Copies of this chain bind each other. A is one copy, B any other.
Amino acid sequence: MNILLSGEFEASELHVWQQSLRAALPDAHWLGRDEALAVADTVEVAVVANPPPGSLRGLPKLRLIQSLWAGVDRLLLDPTLPAGAPIARMVDPAMNASMAETALWATLALHRGYFDYAQAQRRGLWQPRPQRRADSVAVLVLGLGQMGLTAAKRIAQQGYHVSGWSLRPRADAGDLDGIAAHAGQAALPDLLAQSNVVINLLPLTPATTGLLDARCFALMPRGAGLVNLARGAHVVDADLLAALDRSHLAHAVLDVFRTEPLPADHPYWSHPQVTLLPHVAAQTDPESASQVVAANVRALFEGRPLAHLVQVERGY
Residues of A within 8 A of B (CB): 94, 97-98, 101-102, 104-105, 108-109, 111-114, 117-118, 120-121, 124, 126-131, 133-134, 154, 157-159, 260-262, 264, 269-270, 275-280, 283, 285
Partner of A262, one of B126, B130, B159, B277: B126
Check B279–A94 contact: CB distance below 8 A.
no
Check A98–B280 contact: CB distance below 8 A.
no
Would you give 14 A-B contacts (Cβ < 8 Å), ordered by A? A97-B133, A101-B112, A102-B112, A104-B158, A105-B105, A112-B280, A113-B280, A117-B276, A117-B278, A118-B275, A124-B264, A126-B261, A131-B285, A133-B285
Write out the residue numbers on chain B whose beta carbons fall within 8 Å of the beta carbon of A159: 97
Shortest distance from the beta carbon of A105 to any chain B beta carbon, whole Å: 4
Question: In the docked arrangement, what's the CA distance between A157 and B114, Å?
Answer: 22
Check B278–A120 contact: CB distance below 8 A.
yes
Question: In the docked arrangement, what's the CA distance between A158 and B284, Å?
Answer: 18
Write out the residue numbers on chain B whose beta carbons fall within 8 Å of the beta carbon of A129: 280
Question: In the docked arrangement, what's the CA distance between A143 and B154, Å?
Answer: 25
Shortest distance from the beta carbon of A20 to any chain B beta carbon, whole Å: 13
Check A131–B97 contact: CB distance below 8 A.
no
Write out the residue numbers on chain B whose beta carbons fall within 8 Å of the beta carbon of A112: 101-102, 105, 280
Write out the residue numbers on chain B whose beta carbons fall within 8 Å of the beta carbon of A278: 117, 120, 126-128
Question: In the docked arrangement, what's the CA distance between A297 and B274, Å?
Answer: 48
Shortest distance from the beta carbon of A74 to any chain B beta carbon, whole Å: 17
Shortest distance from the beta carbon of A139 to any chain B beta carbon, whole Å: 13
Check A105–B108 contact: CB distance below 8 A.
yes
List 8 tightest A-B contacts by C-beta distance, closest first: A126-B261, A105-B108, A128-B278, A126-B278, A131-B283, A128-B280, A121-B276, A117-B277
Question: In the docked arrangement, what's the CA distance between A316 and B104, Å?
Answer: 33
Check A279–B128 contact: CB distance below 8 A.
yes
Partner of A108, one of B101, B133, B279, B285: B101
Shortest distance from the beta carbon of A280 to any chain B beta carbon, whole Å: 5
Shortest distance from the beta carbon of A78 to any chain B beta carbon, whole Å: 24
Question: In the docked arrangement, what's the CA distance between A289 and B269, Å?
Answer: 42
Given A157-B157, A277-B114, verify A104-B97 contact (CB < 8 Å). no
Question: In the docked arrangement, what's the CA distance between A139 and B97, Å?
Answer: 18
Write out the residue numbers on chain B whose beta carbons fall within 8 Å of the beta carbon of A158: 101, 104, 154
Check A97–B134 contact: CB distance below 8 A.
yes
Q: Known pairs A105-B109, A128-B280; list 11 more (Cβ under 8 Å).
A: A97-B134, A98-B131, A104-B158, A105-B112, A109-B109, A117-B280, A121-B269, A121-B275, A124-B269, A128-B278, A133-B285
User: A264: nearest residue on chain B (CB-CB)?
Assistant: B124
Question: In the docked arrangement, what's the CA distance between A204 and B269, Å?
Answer: 41
Question: In the docked arrangement, what's the CA distance between A105 and B293, Å?
Answer: 33
